A and B are shown apart, each in its own frame.
Chain A
Amino acid sequence: MRDAYIFDHVRTPRGKGRPDGALHTVSPVNLLAQSLTHLRERNDLDTTLVEDVIAGCGSPIGEQGSAIGRSAALAADYAQSTPGQQIHRFCSSGLEAVNLAAAKVASEQCDLVVASGVESMSRIPIGSSGGAWSSDPELADKIHFVPQGIAADLIASLHRHSRGDLDRYAAASQQRAAHAWDDGRFDGSVAPVVDEIGNLLLNKDEAIRSGTSQESLGKLKPVFAELGKMGFDQQAILKYPQLDSIDHVHTAGNSSGIVDGAATALIGNAEMGERLGIKPRARIRSCASVGTDPTIMLTGPTPSARIALEKAKMSRSDIDLFELNEAFASVVLLFMEELNIPHEQINVNGGSIAMGHPIGATGVMILGTALDELERRGQGTALVNLCVGAGMGTATIIERL
């Protein structure tokens, strides 16, 4: 096996995933194409050398359907010989695109691959692509399917995360994201999105609320209590009978935001870096995905992190920075408890609670955020991780060069 390197990455800012969001008028293929174009231009890339454009996408239907990686490569005027595909593993689709690109390079089947992700949640709402795991009565009943928000509340109930714990964490995410923007920490990796006539649509994450405090978050209503009453709480309790009830503590404020966005990363081997004259920025040390209980669904980060550490022959203490997608605050709090991670070491520039979670793109975005921060701090290693629908987790360990 050869080493796979990250040469560069770039993302769009994240627009609110609503009809009045800044990126709503941009089609997903255009959104991804703009990011692909920036990646090419930043690296003066000869795209005839790109052997695949892998696009993670959470709802690969309609305008996001049918191998949007290929559609976006064509739209971005990549070489006709550059193929494209899409990959789906719910929230980790983007990171899975990175991991697949790394595997293609490591196995010497490719020398240069673009890993990417896209989600226009304002146009293709989450859940649009259906799915047997949640909606086929046979399987949904068998696995005691509950919606993700109920699963997050289930984690909080089992692990005694109070509403205050979650809101405190969420407020910190907002403050960290706002500070990171003010400090210019995202400037190097966020490229603006423009409209049809070249006017700027968005150059900064739109959803951040810098004035957020634990107190202001405390006023929000729990989102999943009503849904729980429809039978999902009982389905969860039948699987977790130690609970007398489910505490519905997640709100719009301590859960990830619904946004539009795309991101790309250039991944290849050392020789390709030399040929292109671009310096590798990080080595991909290991990748892992794992299945866990589908009912509680969101507990995959710890086992996937452990597997990734084992594959890299590393231990928890070898990791300098952690980046775990803030799908829900309880997911991050549980991960911190289980791997004994201090708050100072994880999601140091905020996360999806503040900036939003464009499902298919998030994995690529947080990989880039972790790499940029390693460079800024002069640190060595980062573990990037997401919880995943249907009970999975995906992790990647990178080492800065």
Chain B
Amino acid sequence: MNKPMGKTANDSNISFKTIQYRVADNGVAFIGIDVPDRDVNILTPQLHVELGEVAAQLASDDSVSGAVLHSAKQGFMAGGDLKRIVNYYALDRTAAEAYEQSRTFSQSLRQLETCGKPVAVAVNGTAMGGGLEMALACHYRVAIDDDEILLGLPEVTLGLIPGAGGTQRLPRLIGLKEATSMILDGTAISPARALELGIVDELATPDELLNTAERWVLANGRPDQPWDRRGFRIPGGSKLNDMNVGRLFQIQTAKVGAQYRHNYPAPIAALRALFNGTTVNSIDQGLRIETREFSALTRDPVARNIIRTLFINKRERKFRKGDADSALLELCEQAYADEAQRMLDQGVPRAVIRNAAWAAGMKDHPAGLEAAETTSAKEPASYDFAQLKQRLLAIQSLVAAERWSREQLDPVTADLSTVLGGGFPSYTGGVMSYVSTMGLPKFIAHCDRFADELGEHFRPSDELRARSDYQDR
């Protein structure tokens, strides 16, 4: 993106490492996000802090009348740094530590939003996750009218939720109904669609983008957000004395339950943040609620597992379905089908086994159990449903771990193969992540208990026991 022409910096310029900051003669500050050593902007801890410092500068500098937030690179903002985020889980922080460390970006954006000067944002390219959240914290949003540009909050698909106001500002801007589906589905939209929804205020050509944003600032744009004005109400309502709101959350909760089967903490955390955060009247309290939910997810292994396997490892290995270790997949499928057969032999009804596989998150029913008849409830349940689910996953991880213990298996390939090539659920991160999340010694003990109860096929080998110092990658 070109810098505005014909404007010179004045004396009040201060310098930042991730931001090019300059104030034009007309008093408009230009905040150019420019994260060093990156082709595209990405959120870094330094940027989190510096956005707050910029906000303080805007507030205190009387010569500044307003600001235009923009990207000094191609594209606007790719979002969070997955390589940093994937490590959160291993940090083993307390809840309080994780909360404190999750607050900075959200607080900086809130500072920008309440700095008392009008801030327009010029969205010159794709703005995902924290990038869109940054734009939402500005008072006026201009984007280039280009359908190639994506605007979205994909955090839920990564096992997280938006953590810098996305779950709070989006519903306050466009209502809970649209905001909830955008956040739960994680789908991105075009600037034109964002304009329709009210997420973006104006579209511009690339050449006119910065001028359009600047014009709004110079025309005395309002330096506050609707939700900070007296008497503000969330469009479409937000409280349970509105039946439509109740129904929305009832249906969305059921949808999440059916889709994720209680294995993924993020979608329901997103719903809680949307629900609890919009029930309170204060956005500051809503932002705290969101940060609590976000920070809890960073301490949960599911986000780590999803990001590590589906994003980082997949990208690094340039993994495609065809690259899957077919010998391993066959081994796992056989173990899965055999375990289901054992359940059948033990008298577990077919429907229960199918539902256990489905509830565990397996993509397909075990071979041989394609059809099921409904069984009567009149016979008392003689099975432990939670245990059935565990058995179907653990047996597959066990056969994989046995191969690994004989050094015939690369754990990363095993994870990628079973999640992307097979039907193993993504929340586990794959067959080997399933083991490492539990910790190998615990996994061995878990299998030993199954072996005692169900048979020697669950008994870990001596080779595997010998590897029990293995913790994680």
Q: Could you tell me which A residues sit within 8 Å of B by CB distance?
A: 61, 125, 127-132, 134-138, 140-141, 144-147, 157-160, 230-235, 237-238, 240-245
Contact between chains at A242 and B268 (CB < 8 Å):
no
Chain B residue nearest to A138 (CB atoms) is: B272
Contact between chains at B243 and A125 (CB < 8 Å):
yes
A233 to B257: give the CA distance in the assembly, Å: 10
Indicate whether A127 sits within 8 Å of B354 (C-beta atoms), given known contacts A140-B249, A159-B377, A160-B376: no
Contact between chains at A137 and B272 (CB < 8 Å):
yes
A238: chain B residues within 8 A (beta carbon): 257, 261-262, 355, 359
B355: chain A residues within 8 A (beta carbon): 237-238, 241-244
Contact with A along B375-408 (1 / 0, CB 8 A): 1111001000100000000000000000000000
B248: min CB distance to chain A, Å: 8
A136 to B248: give the CA distance in the assembly, Å: 10
Contact between chains at B241 and A241 (CB < 8 Å):
no
Contact between chains at A242 and B251 (CB < 8 Å):
no
Contact between chains at A244 and B249 (CB < 8 Å):
no
Contact between chains at A130 and B246 (CB < 8 Å):
yes
Chain B residue nearest to A155 (CB atoms) is: B377
Contact with A along B243-267 (1 / 0, CB 8 A): 1011101111111111101100000
Indicate whether A242 sits within 8 Å of B374 (C-beta atoms), given known contacts A127-B243, A230-B255, A231-B255: yes
A158: chain B residues within 8 A (beta carbon): 376-377
The residue that A242 contacts in the complex, of B246, B250, B381, with Cβ under 8 A, is B381
Indicate whether A127 sits within 8 Å of B246 (C-beta atoms), given known contacts A137-B275, A241-B352, A243-B351: yes
A138: min CB distance to chain B, Å: 5
Q: Does B324 contact A (CB under 8 A)?
A: no
Contact between chains at B257 and A235 (CB < 8 Å):
yes
Contact with A along B360-383 (1 / 0, CB 8 A): 000000000000111111100100
Indicate whether A235 sits within 8 Å of B254 (C-beta atoms), given known contacts A127-B246, A136-B249, A244-B351: yes
The residue that B356 contacts in the complex, of A146, A240, A241, with Cβ under 8 A, is A241
A131: chain B residues within 8 A (beta carbon): 240, 246
A230: chain B residues within 8 A (beta carbon): 251, 254-255
Contact between chains at A241 and B351 (CB < 8 Å):
yes
B319: min CB distance to chain A, Å: 31
Given contacts A135-B245, A137-B268, 9 further A-B contacts (CB under 8 A): A135-B240, A136-B275, A141-B256, A145-B250, A234-B261, A235-B257, A235-B258, A241-B352, A244-B351
Contact between chains at B241 and A141 (CB < 8 Å):
no
Contact between chains at B376 and A231 (CB < 8 Å):
no
Contact with A along B129-167 (1 / 0, CB 8 A): 000000000000000000000000000000000000000
User: 13 A-B residue contacts at CB 8 Å?
Assistant: A61-B241, A127-B247, A128-B243, A130-B239, A130-B243, A135-B240, A135-B245, A141-B253, A144-B257, A157-B374, A158-B376, A159-B378, A238-B261
B261: chain A residues within 8 A (beta carbon): 234, 238
A-side interface mostly: loop
Which of A61, A132, A140 has the most C-beta atoms of chain B within 10 angstroms of its own C-beta? A140
Chain A residue nearest to B350 (CB atoms) is: A244
A159: chain B residues within 8 A (beta carbon): 376-378
A135 to B245: give the CA distance in the assembly, Å: 8
Q: Does B31 contact A (CB under 8 A)?
A: no
Which of B246, B250, B374, B381 has the most C-beta atoms of chain A within 10 angstroms of its own C-beta? B250
A138 to B268: give the CA distance in the assembly, Å: 7
Which of B249, B271, B372, B378 has the most C-beta atoms of chain A within 10 angstroms of its own C-beta? B249
A140 to B252: give the CA distance in the assembly, Å: 10
A97 to B66: give the CA distance in the assembly, Å: 63
Contact between chains at B374 and A147 (CB < 8 Å):
no
Indicate whether A231 sits within 8 Å of B243 (C-beta atoms), given known contacts A137-B268, A160-B376, A243-B374: no
B206: chain A residues within 8 A (beta carbon): none
B343: min CB distance to chain A, Å: 12
A125 to B377: give the CA distance in the assembly, Å: 34
The residue that A147 contacts in the complex, of B245, B250, B354, B378, with Cβ under 8 A, is B250
B98: min CB distance to chain A, Å: 19
Contact between chains at B262 and A231 (CB < 8 Å):
no
Contact between chains at B256 and A231 (CB < 8 Å):
yes
B351: chain A residues within 8 A (beta carbon): 241-244
Contact with A along B223-243 (1 / 0, CB 8 A): 000000000000000011101
B240: min CB distance to chain A, Å: 3
Q: Does B411 contact A (CB under 8 A)?
A: no
Contact between chains at A242 and B352 (CB < 8 Å):
yes
Indicate whether A231 sits within 8 Å of B251 (C-beta atoms), given known contacts A159-B378, A238-B261: yes
A160: chain B residues within 8 A (beta carbon): 376
Q: Does B27 contact A (CB under 8 A)?
A: no
A243: chain B residues within 8 A (beta carbon): 351, 355, 374-375, 377
A158 to B351: give the CA distance in the assembly, Å: 13
A159 to B375: give the CA distance in the assembly, Å: 10
Chain B residue nearest to A246 (CB atoms) is: B374
Q: Does B349 contact A (CB under 8 A)?
A: yes
A241 to B377: give the CA distance in the assembly, Å: 10
The residue that B374 contacts in the complex, of A129, A130, A232, A244, with Cβ under 8 A, is A244
B54: min CB distance to chain A, Å: 35
Chain B residue nearest to A160 (CB atoms) is: B376
A232: chain B residues within 8 A (beta carbon): 254, 258
B250: chain A residues within 8 A (beta carbon): 134-135, 140, 145, 147
Chain A residue nearest to B270 (CB atoms) is: A137
B349: chain A residues within 8 A (beta carbon): 242
A235 to B257: give the CA distance in the assembly, Å: 6
Contact between chains at B253 and A130 (CB < 8 Å):
no
B356: chain A residues within 8 A (beta carbon): 241
A81: min CB distance to chain B, Å: 33
A104 to B251: give the CA distance in the assembly, Å: 41
B116: min CB distance to chain A, Å: 36
B62: min CB distance to chain A, Å: 46
Top 4 closest pairs, chain A to chain B, by CB: A130-B240, A231-B254, A234-B258, A231-B258
Contact between chains at A244 and B373 (CB < 8 Å):
yes
A244 to B365: give the CA distance in the assembly, Å: 13
A147: chain B residues within 8 A (beta carbon): 250
B253: chain A residues within 8 A (beta carbon): 135, 137, 140-141, 145
B362: min CB distance to chain A, Å: 14
A332: min CB distance to chain B, Å: 17
A145 to B255: give the CA distance in the assembly, Å: 11
A64: min CB distance to chain B, Å: 13
A46: min CB distance to chain B, Å: 39
Chain B residue nearest to A62 (CB atoms) is: B241
B378: chain A residues within 8 A (beta carbon): 159
Contact between chains at A130 and B271 (CB < 8 Å):
no
A296 to B128: give the CA distance in the assembly, Å: 41
Chain B residue nearest to A129 (CB atoms) is: B241
A145 to B349: give the CA distance in the assembly, Å: 25
Indicate whether A137 sits within 8 Å of B249 (C-beta atoms), given known contacts A131-B240, A231-B255, A231-B258: yes
The residue that B268 contacts in the complex, of A128, A130, A141, A241, with Cβ under 8 A, is A141
